[in-house]
Every structure is written in C-alpha cells, then in structure tokens.
Chains A and B, each alone.
Chain A
C-alpha cells in the first residue's frame, strides 16, 4: 500500500491559503465568464415573455424527452470512457505498432460532423445498409432496428470518444512517472500498476473528457435527427423550425442549461478536490514505454476496430458519394476558398480559446474559492446549448447594440470562443493540476512577478496540454454549422457550410470534396500537433 500512501501524501492540499489572485487575472476570467453567460441571459429575456412556459415545462412529453436525453448522455459518456482511456494509454505509453498513425487516426473522428457521420452510420448499418448487403447471401434480409436510441448512442460515441483520448493523452504526457515506478519496483505488474497508480492520477483528465462528451451529446443535433432519436436538442430545433416562435424554444433551452448544471455538479463530485503533483523534491521525467508483449497485436486490433467504425466507414461513405457523382458526370469542385476560410476561422478560434482558458484554469486551480469555481463553471454554460441558440443570442445582442461588428469575423470568433472554450479549459485545467505550485513559489521568491512566473514557468510546463486544447477547439470549430450560418460575414463560406449545403439538398457527390478536404486538413493539423508535442 506504499503506492497509495504516497499518492495520498501527494494529494494533500497544501497547507497555506492560496494567495489572492492578481486583479488582471480576475478581470480576464470574469470577462470570459460573462461572455459565456450571455446566451443564458438572452434565453431568460425571451422565456420571461412567454405565457406558455409553465404548461410546456410540465407537459409529460417534455419530461420524457428530458429523461431520454439524459440516458443518452450517460450511455455515450460511459462508452466513450471505455473506448477512449485504453486508446489514450496505448497510443502514448505502450509499444503499440505504428503508434503515431494510431494517434492521428483515433483523434480524427472528432472532425467528422455528426450530420455526415449520421449518414455514414445509416448507410453502413441501417436495416438495408452496406453490412446487410454483405450478409444478404447468408439470408439476412434486414438488420435489427438501428434508428432511435441504439443508432444515436453508437453514432455519438464514435464521433465524440476522442474528447476522452485527447484529454487523457494530455494528462499522460505531463503525469509524474514516479508513482508508476514505485509500483513497478514493489513487484506489481503493468496491469495492476495502471489500475493502482496511473488511473487514479488520470481522474481529472477522464472526468474532464467525459464532461465534454456528455455536454456535446446534450447539444448535438445532426446525429439525433438523422437517427431519429427524440432528444431535447431535437425538440428545440422542431420548436424553432415549426413555430417561428423563439420563446418556447428558449424555455426548452433553459431546461438544457439546468441539465448542464446537473452534469457539472456530478463532475465536480467525481473529480473531487484532489491535487496530483509531486509533494517532495525531484523533477518530473518522461515515462518509459510499457512493453505489451503478447498483447501487442490484440491492442492494435482493438484500435483498428475503433478506427474502422469511426474513420473508415465515414470516409468510405464519402468516397462512395464521390464515385457515384463522378460516374454520373458531376463536376468536382475543390473548394479551396472554403477550406481557407475554415482553417482561418477555426485556427483563430483555437488560439483565442487557449489564451482564454489560461486565466480561467489558473483561477480555478491555483486560487480556487468562489470566483475560481464560478468563472470555470460559467464557461461551460454554452457548451451544452445547441448552436442555433448561441448564434441567435449573439445576433440579438450584436444586431441591436453593436451593429458595427455584426456579421464580421471578430463576432464569429467570439461566438466560437463561447461555444468551444470549455474544451480548452478542461485540458488546461487538467494539466495545471499536475504542476506543483512549489515551482511557481520558487520563481516568486527569486523575484519574478506573477505574470512573469505564469509566462516563463507554468505555461512552458503545461505546453502539451495547451496544444491538445488548441487541437480540440480547432477540430470542433471546423465542423461548427449553426453559429457559422447565422454569424459569419455574408458570403464567408466554410467547409462545414459547403457540406451541409450539398447534403441538405441531396447533392451528395458535391458534398464529398469539402468533406474529404475537412478530414485531410484535420489529419494534417494533427500530424503537426504531434510533432510539436515531440519537440519537448
């Protein structure tokens, strides 16, 4: 039990009360939190003007939809953790064959928009999809029902488990290998070492990744609508589409905010108040590679199965569209302009989100207290809301009060920031937890000001986490549709808009080039990120 004892020693909260945060840090954090809360303010204004709010809320159907949605979120989250944690460990700690390729391939599904992934899942596993036609000679005329809960859960898991992979990889890169070494030196095998020494240290990263999966599931519209699962977000869209009355949609969206609050509370219970840095002297080194031995090829087969479902199936579907279109003489338009716009907007959003995540994470981890906790939670407010709600909130405010920035790139970036900053906050926070404040204190006693300590000491140490957070935001902002449609400068089309524009009218062949470009850009940027990571 020496391992657990040493862990516990390390987790002890430091005795001294944390110093009061500098004013600029609080200012930055509060500003970001207020932006995050803006959509909720808009919803409250709208809902306040609704007379039908209470009957709608109490309708039996509304409650049923709510419960079903929560069940879906719980299922997708659990499945994503079960798939994502082993993949993160295998691709960052083991001698898995072709490790770097698996790393890229297992993160790539994140960039597949759910409105493409949903089509792919139906085309492959629908009652009369590709799999059924393969099984037809064996007498299988129809596959079991995919539509509804099973299809929605499968699709969302396939395209959101990389949240867990990225988050856990970031933590594995900065984790102190000393606990694992102690465990191994005491005669524990790799498996018991993972369970006893590694897994407990990964808790904040796992809950952080799981939180993103859960909230993303609450907000997704593409998968649930294509797979016909009646989720809360679908109900909100139906309300918007059918009644042109935003007040009832606002009431429903506020219930979604309440769910988010519930998920956040559950997450904070789960992650606890533990700290995960070294308590004694010595420096963190890089972990050694674990030899998988006989398991090496089974591990590769596991990765291959996941990649097959989450990357090969959608890419094959896109190629099928392309082939069918070329066969029918459709012109193939490589939309470089849209690709450039996508990279520009999501790249800037990624940089902004990482920069914004720093004050939020530092406040939450280093200073704690009411301000830190509130600021951090507030940034998550927007993540579970459907994009159309965030988009309309910014339309409402900007068109009325700041017309000069309305329909400009900066406003679109602010909306992206609100929507995606939690992704960066989660990863940055997880990394920061593993850095001992002692190191910062030493720098302070050597005469550096807090800002300089942050820049010169803390940020370089958590660089892998910042890069991972930036990658997350980049990949997810690239597929963002509703806020782009509502807020982008007029005429600014992105790959996501192109794909949607073609699929919504059934021009699948024309959707193929932008969809392939999106996957290629994502793969290239992931290679780049991994190179940065290796440079350490």
Chain B
C-alpha cells in the first residue's frame, strides 16, 4: 500500500510544524527585535497600522531603537484595521491605532474605543489637524492635488478651483478613484464646506464629463502617465514616490488655492485604545510620531507634510501654509455614510 508510506511522514511533518508554530511568529516580524540599544522594562506596544509596512516599517524600527520599546505591528488597509477594531470591540489586543485618514480614526472614536490623549501630545499640532475631543492626533499631512500629464498640458491650462473641471472642455479627460478613501474624504469635505447641493452639482458635473474611474490613486496616476487621461484627482505624495522610482515620468502635481475644497489637507494620525494594556508605551509611541526625528521621516520617506512646527517638507513641495486648505474640522470627515449615499444617488458607486 502506497498511501500509508507517504501519509506517515506527511502527518509527522504536520505535527512537528504545528508544534513549532508559535516560534514561527518571529522570522516575519521585522520590527527591530535586535535593534534595541536602550533596554526598556516596558513590554511591547501593539500597533494596528492602517499604513503599510513599506511606508512606516522603518519608522517603527527607529522608535524601538530610540526608546527600547518593542513594537508588535499588524499591517493592513486603514478601513480593514478600523473594521477589525470595531469587530474586536473591548477584546482588542491593540494599544495604538495608526491610521491613514482622519475618518477611520473618527469612526473608531465614535464607538468609544479611543482614550483621550495627553495634553502635551495634542499641543504639538495645529488644532485643525487633531480631534477636538483629543481622541486622536494627526501626525502627517496629505494634500489633495490634481495630477496632470505634462506632455498634454501645462500648468496654465488648469483651473484654480476643483469646480473648474465641471466645464465640458474636460470631457473624457479626467481620472478619479470613487471607491478610494481619500477621494471619499474629499467629497465629505466638499459636502461640509459647500453644502449638499453644491457637492451634488460638482459630482454631477464631473460625471457628465465622463470620467474614467480607477481602483485607487496609483492606477489613476498610471493612467495619467500613460496618457489614458489628462488629469486625475489624487493625493500629492503618489507622484513624489513615483518620481523616486523613475524621475522621467511625464506628470506633475497641481495644487488648488484659496480655501478650495480641492486643496483639502487630510491627515494620517494615531489614537490610543481605551482598552490598551500597555498604555504608557502607547503614549510614548504616539509622542514619538510627533518627534522631530519621526516628522523628518515623513518629510523625506513618505513625502508627506510634517505637522510639527519647524520641520520642513520635501523641497519640491509648496509649504503647508501656502496651500489654501479649507477651514474644516477633520472629525467631520467620519460622516462617510452620507457621502456614500450621495455617491450612490448620483450613480457613481
């Protein structure tokens, strides 16, 4: 009989591997187990990161190096991590939620899952970039831009307001990403700033220009570079990262001005779970994200805007003060339900 002969080693292997399973955690975790220089008596801090390891992994290693506190990081999409926290509820093993947009932080805070942050941590950033109740704080800024193909257009051809793109001359030339979180945050801002009717007008106006929908900011950027469309509405740093891989791509960012909703600056931010077991380490972690070292990391590595006074953004970017970002409470961006309904009503989703 052949089977028993093969079955025994196979089963043996399964049992051995299963017995080793807990040890299997370590080879994958890259968050600096060997990097610690300052020994710390604090246990590890568990971070649910809605920002990918490619973006923030090295920053987490730097934190361990600086403080001696180990980080156990779980990476995923921001919305996935928010849903994970909402599903776990009180039983979450997480200490910190590090999210890509304010809306997700707002949603988790609204369920009462986030604790109030220390006053001195909140004070690091402009009140525009943190939760008024102190449940989360922005750590880096992400500006909305219009990215355009420099072979088809020059900056002078582009309107100053996002409303300019409803003109029929833009028919068939626009790319956008209606299912993307950053786009939906922008639409929410549009509703908050301009009111439901103007927001609907804008969406209908763009829809009438037959825009090409894309899955996210990167595919939309690809489409601009390939000339599938002339312009796309995305965040500022996608192009910056692409330029680092390939300096010759024919695309440039166009920043809108004068409080235009199209110039919204959203934030990536962090909050501490009310149920955090290691909340002292969690506070140190969030404080570290606002340290000059971490802020410089955002400026040079992720090409985002540092939010701490005195740390400069990438030289190719206009300073944060010059972007006429609209006056808005970013906590209001958690009203995505209304945005979803509007997008569905207009027939975009």
Contacts and interface: CB of A to CB of B under 8 A. Distances in A.
Contacts of A460: 1-3
B216 A504 contact: yes
Interface string B81-98: 011101111011100000
Contact of A506 (B10, B77, B213, B218): B218
A492 B54 contact: no
Nearest to B3: A460
Given A238-B340, A341-B24, A408-B21, A486 B227 contact: no
B241 A506 contact: yes
Contacts of A126: 223, 226, 228
B3 A463 contact: yes
B28 A492 contact: yes
A324 B225 CA distance: 15
B221 interface: yes
Interface stretch (B68-76, B118-126, B195-203, B256-264): B68-76
Given A460-B3, A504-B77, A506-B241, A324 B246 contact: yes
A126 B4 CA distance: 51
B55 to A, nearest CB: 6
B295 to A, nearest CB: 19
B336 interface: yes
B191 to A, nearest CB: 13
A459 B7 CA distance: 10
Interface residues of A, number: 81
B300 to A, nearest CB: 15
B156 interface: no
Nearest to A61: B344
Contacts of B6: 463, 532
Nearest to A498: B53
A395 B242 contact: no
B4 A455 contact: yes
B91 A490 contact: no
B28 A225 contact: no
B1 A456 contact: yes
A507 interface: yes
B92 A509 contact: no
B219 A226 contact: yes
B278 interface: no
B46 A506 contact: no
A244 B28 contact: no
A407 interface: yes
A439 B108 CA distance: 61
B21 A497 contact: no
B34 to A, nearest CB: 13
Interface in B10-30: 10, 14, 17-18, 21-22, 24-30
A506 B334 CA distance: 26
Q: Which of B4, B84, B86, B219 has the most CB of A within 10 A?
A: B219
B244 to A, nearest CB: 7
A482 B213 CA distance: 23
A490 B54 contact: no
A263 B41 CA distance: 57
A221 to B, nearest CB: 10
B225 to A, nearest CB: 9
A241 B179 contact: yes
Contacts of B169: none
A532 B10 CA distance: 13
Interface string B197-235: 000000000000000111111110111001110000000
Contacts of A493: 28-30, 53, 75
B84 A507 contact: no
A230 B344 CA distance: 12
A158 B213 CA distance: 23
B163 interface: no
Interface string A459-488: 110010000000000000000001001100
B79 interface: yes
Interface string A493-527: 11001101111111111100000000000000000
B212 A147 contact: yes
B132 interface: no
Given A241-B181, A502-B54, A504-B216, A486 B76 contact: yes
B339 interface: yes
A338 B28 contact: yes
B25 A122 contact: no
A501 B51 CA distance: 9
B36 interface: no
A491 B73 contact: yes
Contacts of B92: 399
Contact of A407 (B14, B31, B93, B334): B93
B179 A234 contact: yes
A498 B28 CA distance: 10
Contact of A129 (B46, B91, B226): B226
Contact of B24 (A129, A230, A344): A344
A147 B1 CA distance: 53
Given A234-B179, A243-B336, A409-B24, A324 B245 contact: yes
B1 A490 contact: no
Contacts of A406: 91, 93
A400 B91 contact: yes
Contact of B4 (A241, A456, A490, A509): A456
Contacts of B334: 244
A396 interface: yes
Interface string A96-134: 000000000000000000000011001100111100000
A370 interface: no
A189 to B, nearest CB: 36
A369 B94 CA distance: 47
Q: Which residue among B6, B54, B181 has the maximum number of chain A CB atoms within 10 Å of its CB?
A: B54
B247 to A, nearest CB: 7
Interface in A394-408: 395-396, 399-400, 403, 406-408
18 contacts: A128-B228, A129-B226, A241-B179, A242-B336, A242-B340, A244-B79, A244-B82, A244-B107, A244-B336, A324-B245, A388-B80, A400-B91, A410-B21, A456-B4, A491-B73, A493-B53, A507-B241, A536-B2
Interface of B: 1-4, 6-7, 10, 14, 17-18, 21-22, 24-31, 46, 52-55, 72-77, 79-80, 82-84, 86-89, 91-93, 104, 107-108, 179, 181, 184, 212-219, 221-223, 226-228, 238, 241-242, 244-247, 334, 336-337, 339-340, 344, 349
Closest 7 CB pairs of A and B: A491-B29, A241-B79, A244-B107, A501-B52, A337-B27, A128-B226, A409-B21
Given A122-B222, A129-B226, 9 more contacts: A244-B334, A246-B86, A330-B245, A348-B14, A399-B88, A400-B89, A459-B3, A502-B52, A507-B245
